[in-house]
Amino acid sequence: MTPAPPPALLEVAGVSVRFGAVQALDRVSLSVRRGEVIAIIGPNGAGKTTLLNVISGFYHPSEGHIRFEGRDRTRLAPYDVAALGIARTFQNVALFKGMSVLDNIMTGRLLKMKGSFLLDALYWGPAKAQELEHRAFVERIIDFLEIQAIRKTPAGRLPYGLQKRVELARALAAEPTLLLLDEPMAGMNVEEKEDMCRFILDVNREFGTTIALIEHDMSVVMDISDHVAALDYGRKIADGTPDEVRTDQAVIDAYLGVSHV
Partner 1 sequence: MLEPGLDTFPKLALRNAQRIPRNVAIREKDLGIWQAYTWAQYVEQARLIALGLAALGLARGDKTAVVGDNRPELYWAMLATQALGGIPVPLYQDSIEKEMQYIVGHAEARFAVVEDQEQVDKLLHVREQCPMLEWIVYADPRGLRHYRERGLLGLDELQERGRKFAIDNPGHFDREVAKGAADDLAIILYTSGTTGQPKGAMLSHRNLMVTARNAIAHEGLTSSEEVLAYLPMAWAGDHMFSFAQSLVAGFTTNCPESAATVLHDLREIGPTYFFAPPRIWENILTSVMIRIDDASWVKRRMVHFFLDVARRVEERRLGRRAAAFGDRLLYALGRVLVYGPLRDNLGMRRIRIAYTAGEAIGPELLGFYRSLGVNVKQVYGMTESSALVSIQKDGDVKLDTVGTPLPEIEVRIAASGEVMYRGPGVFLGYHKNPEATAETLEGGWVHSGDAGVFDRDGHLKIIDRAKDLGRLADGTMFPPKYIENKLKFSPYVREAVCVGGERPFVGALINIDPGSVGNWAERRGIAYTSYTDLAQKPEVYELIRQEVARVNRSLLDEGPLAGAQIRRFLLLHKELDPDDQEITRTRKVRRGFIGQKYAGLIDALYSGGDHVKVEAQVTYEDGRTGTVRAEVRIHDAEAFAPGIVR
Beta carbon nearer to partner 1, 23 or 130: 130
* Contact between 148 and partner 1 per CB under 8 A: yes
Within 122-141, the residues that bind partner 1 by CB under 8 A are 135-136, 139-140
Q: Tell me, residue by residue from 193 to 212, as one string, x for binding to partner 1 by CB under 8 A and - for no binding.
A: ---------x--xx------
Q: Is 45 helix (H, G, I), strand (E, B) or coil?
A: coil
Helix axes of 160-173 and 190-207: crossing angle, nearest 10 degrees:
10
Determine the Cα–Cα distance for residues 92 and 119; give it in Å rounded to an integer: 36
In 3D space, the residue among 181, 179, 182, 218 whose CA is nearest the CA of residue 34 turns out to be: 179
Beta carbon nearer to partner 1, 71 or 152: 152
Number of residues that bind partner 1 (CB under 8 A): 14
In 3D space, the residue among 207, 253, 218 whose CA is nearest the CA of residue 232 turns out to be: 253
Please report how close the Cβ of residue 106 comes to partner 1 at its closest, in angstroms.
Answer: 12
Determine the Cα–Cα distance for residues 53 and 170; give it in Å rounded to an integer: 18
* Contact between 216 and partner 1 per CB under 8 A: no
Give the strand pairing for 71-72 and 227-232.
unpaired
* Contact between 146 and partner 1 per CB under 8 A: yes
Contact residues toward partner 1 (CB under 8 A) are: 135-136, 139-140, 142-144, 146, 148-149, 151, 202, 205-206
